[in-house]
Amino acid sequence: MADIWKPEVTANGTILGSNATLAKRQLNSILTQKPDRTLYWINITIGTPGQPQALQLDTGSRSLWVPAKGSAICSSTQVPCSILGAFDSAQSSTFVDTDQSTTVGFADGGSVTGDWFYDTVHISGEAVTSQLTVLGTSGSGLDEGILGVGFPASYPTLNHNLAAQGVIASNSYSIWLDELSAAGGTILFGGLNLARFVAPLLKMPVVGGTTMADGTISFNQPTVKLSRVATLQGSQRTVQTAADYSEPAVLDTGTSLTVLQKPLADTIISAMGASYYPSTAPSGNTIIPCSAATSSQSLNFHFSDPALGPTINVPISELVLQALGSANGVEMCQFGIYSAAPADNLPTIMGDTFLRSAYVVYDLDTNHIGMAQTVFNPGPADIVEIPASGIPVGVAG
């Protein structure tokens, strides 16, 4: 666990990240994959002097919360505050209490309760002042603090403030998680890296917004249209969805698995040689022989227009996760697809088992998503700024 802390922290709490070689208005931050290959940490400091925190990066939510030092959420075995960090408000000269409590809920059922406060956040050598944050004191279903970088609600997110305070040119970022066996990836605020995807990067609108009284559209999550899913075995390609298939899908780094609705999940699970665990379960978690990781199977996910929109190929090696033990003499591993039954009330979620194979640009100013096949072993960085007008022409098809 000691390798969580990638950057060097200066005396005033500034994290020295890998931003020195970038143009002025992009900000690169390292993501560290958790040892169990679920989810990703991002490092910040909060307060003056800065107190280090390792937080889960979550594109599917928009709240920043940190555990309070000495609180119930730290004293239990729930959140390992001694390893990931906890915040002591009494030690920060820039701490401003709002005297307002809140409970923040997340899509997986987890929640945290605490008080809103303002303080300075340092990320990769840049300071964001007066960042609204929740100081968590109790909660359930959570393993660490969270940095939500989704759409702003009635309060600004960290990425929104990076743009508002002129650190980056737009409220946008690109995610590169690298392959399953890698130590981690990066989030590039305000830019995209041409070296890390196979061109063209195709752009599509965010869907599922709510029309407000003033005619504007408000979005809650980065949701796009999943339009086709196919399985590949060598040169044989089989479309597993109907011709009129269309399903809203959330692009969420805060979900470790890819969540498909049960009818489609059943088809994919069978086609890939996976099964439910336990075997009597009608939905939920799935397993697969660990040896499948070396096969030529893969999944194709099509978005927006099934012929003209982005297509991402996910090799089965990226879907065969940690070993679970032997069943009838066969070593079994967790499979990266979760089957959602109607009673689960879960949306289709393109989680980390999908996102490692995709280079995704989240443009929250113009409400568009850019997507292309990722490059796992890229060459030198080739950074392009994302202006307020949106993903630049020339990298989008």
Give me the active site residues, please.
58, 252
- The whole-angstrom separation of Cα 227 and Cα 185 is 27
Closest C-alpha among 158, 47, 161 to residue 94? 47
CB 195 within 8 A of CB 395: no
- The whole-angstrom separation of Cα 285 and Cα 41 is 24
Q: Give 11: exposed, middle or buried? Use CB within 10 Å, 0-12, 13-18, 19+.
A: exposed
* Single-letter residue type at 199: A
CB 384 within 8 A of CB 194: yes
Identify the bridge partners of residue 251 per DSSP, sorted by sequence position.
350
Q: Which residues contact residue 312 at a Cβ distance below 8 angstroms, ignoring those fewer than 6 apart?
A: 300, 301, 303, 354, 357, 358, 371, 373
Q: Is the peptide bond preceding residue 49 cis, with omega within 30 degrees of 0?
A: yes
CB 127 within 8 A of CB 82: no
Q: Which two tokens stand for residue 169?
A: 């040119």
Q: Which two tokens stand for residue 116?
A: 């809103």
- The whole-angstrom separation of Cα 351 and Cα 227 is 17
CB 357 within 8 A of CB 285: no
Helix or strand run (H / E) with residue 288: strand 286-289
Closest C-alpha among 277, 271, 282, 253 to residue 327? 277
Q: Where are the alpha helices (H) located in the chain, listed in sequence order?
A: 72-75, 81-84, 158-164, 262-271, 352-355
Q: Tokens 């906890």 label which residue?
A: 86
* Single-letter residue type at 221: Q
DSSP state, 153?
-
Q: Which residues contact residue 2 at a Cβ distance below 8 angstroms, ignoring those fewer than 6 apart?
A: none
